[in-house]
Amino acid sequence: MRISEMYRSIQGESTYAGRPCTFIRTAGCSLRCGYCDTEHALSFKAGEEMTLDAAIEQAAALGLDLVEVTGGEPLEQPETPELCRRLIERGALVLIETSGAFDVGVLPPGTIRIMDIKTPGSRMARRNRWENLGLLTSRDEIKFVLTSREDYDWAAELCRQHGLFELCPVHFSPTFGSVEPVELAQWILNDNLPARLQLQLHKYIWPPDARGV
């Protein structure tokens, strides 16, 4: 499979934020979100070709307590489900961050799916695969990256319509440098919305454009 990079850092998002984590970033993504902060991983020619065995051994050397498979879009790599299965067999707690544009049902049991539902402001909302909502469980998580008040209202209404707040943790994340965290906090408080305000912790620890962190 094609791996853009692999490194150890502090988990910056989800309910696992703050924990040491091994990141496996796959190469390639056919989406083009307006706020993408991993453009170096969009090309399917980025990084290097690795066997599953080599990828797992490199991850094991970094640490298999908590592993996140991310991208790019990891589900555009056909080997990703098998990678997750083998990591789980090795004792890893495996998170996968996916756009939700591809079938999350291909992932093995035990994988914690963090699905990034695309808002209108992302310019990729047409790629949302709505069938995925019916596959999520209480162990999974949902994320919305919000570019504006309109995105916030859209996401809140979607959550109400589909009962997402009752299904699993739902994170509302302000687009870095676009929506101010204090604005989003006030919107959530005013609406008494049962969402989690999520900041990208790693962008406050290290420079926002730093790679490998």
Average pLDDT (131-160) is: 98
> CA–CA separation, 90 vs 188, rounded Å?
40
> CA–CA separation, 154 vs 148, rounded Å?
10
pLDDT for 208 equals 80
In a domain, 153, yes or no: yes
pLDDT at residue 213 tops 80: no
Residue 27 DSSP symbol? -
Q: Which residue has the tokens 């990828």?
A: 55
In a domain, 9, yes or no: yes
Taking residue 205's Cβ as centre, other Cβ atoms within 10 Å add up to 12
Q: Which 3 state secondary structure label does DSSP give 102? A: coil
In a domain, 59, yes or no: yes
CATH of the domain at 154: 3.20.20.70
| Confidence category of residue 61, pLDDT binned at 50, 70, 90 | very high
Mean pLDDT of the chain: 95
Residues 162/168, Cβ–Cβ less than 8 Å = no
Q: Which residue has the tokens 């399917």?
A: 44
In a domain, 212, yes or no: no
In a domain, 112, yes or no: yes
As for how many domains the chain has, the answer is 1
Distances (CA, A) of 27 to 85, 122, 175, 206: 19, 20, 22, 23
Structure tokens at 140: 């999974």
pLDDT for 212 equals 80
Structure tokens at 192: 């008494």
Residues 41/30, Cβ–Cβ less than 8 Å = no
In a domain, 119, yes or no: yes
C-alpha count within 13 angstroms, C-beta hemisphere, residue 46: 20
> CA–CA separation, 54 vs 46, rounded Å?
17
In a domain, 210, yes or no: no
Range list of β-strands (E), 16-153: 20-26, 48-49, 66-70, 93-98, 112-117, 141-146
pLDDT for 177 equals 80
In a domain, 211, yes or no: no
Structure tokens at 151: 């995105």
> CA–CA separation, 181 vs 4, rounded Å?
30
> CA–CA separation, 117 vs 213, rounded Å?
23
pLDDT in tens, 4-22: 999 999 999 999 999 999 9
Q: Which domain holds residue 171?
A: 2-205
